[in-house]
Amino acid sequence: MNEKRRLKSLVSETHCVDWFDCLLRDQSHRGHESHDVMISCTRRVQFCSGHRVFGHEGKCRHLHGHNYVAFITAQADELDAVGRVIDFSVLKERIGGWIDREWDHGCVLWEGDSEAIAAVGACQPSKIFRLPTNPTAENMADHLLRIVSPMELVGTGVRVVSVRLWETENCYAEAGECIG
């Protein structure tokens, strides 16, 4: 049966106002009962930060900086009353706000890198974030996924499932939930 005929049949069976109303009702229930579709939303967050990759064998062993771009992807078990996972501005305010306060225009350094912490701290004012792991793009993405996002989104019913962190226009690292 073609789609138009199926919708006409639904109109008469379900007392929809018209075929469009029926289509909306039909689509609003698809996937949500069987959970065969997962909807996500992604917010882009830009920030500038310095770091040093402790123990790196190349140039990245020196203090240097990047114009980072993070893509924060969120999911929820159900869409809100408006039909969203979460308003994009909430991701910007909460996770983007944390990034702005803690990482933007500062240095992200491994907490065990006392030499770099002392060097940056000697320049006042300074903004240093002490990461518990070496500040590679991979570890920074993981920190945003597993530490920052749950803390910043507490009470929303939304979880961040993926963080893609672009360190340069050619290189990114991604941390995401494992499914299965």
Question: Is residue 140 exposed (0-12), middle (13-18) or buried (19+ Cβ within 10 Å)?
Answer: buried
Instruction: Determine which one of 105, 115, 171, 177 is catalytic.
Output: 105
- Nearest CA to 85 among 44, 39, 43, 45? 39
- Write the single-letter amino acid at 111: E
Instruction: Determine which one of 32, 41, 60, 102 is catalytic.
Output: 60
Tell me if residue 60 is catalytic: yes
Count of Cβ atoms closer than 10 Å to residue 126 Cβ = 12
Instruction: Determine which one of 16, 22, 143, 167 is catalytic.
Output: 167
Which residues form the catalytic set?
A: 60, 105, 167
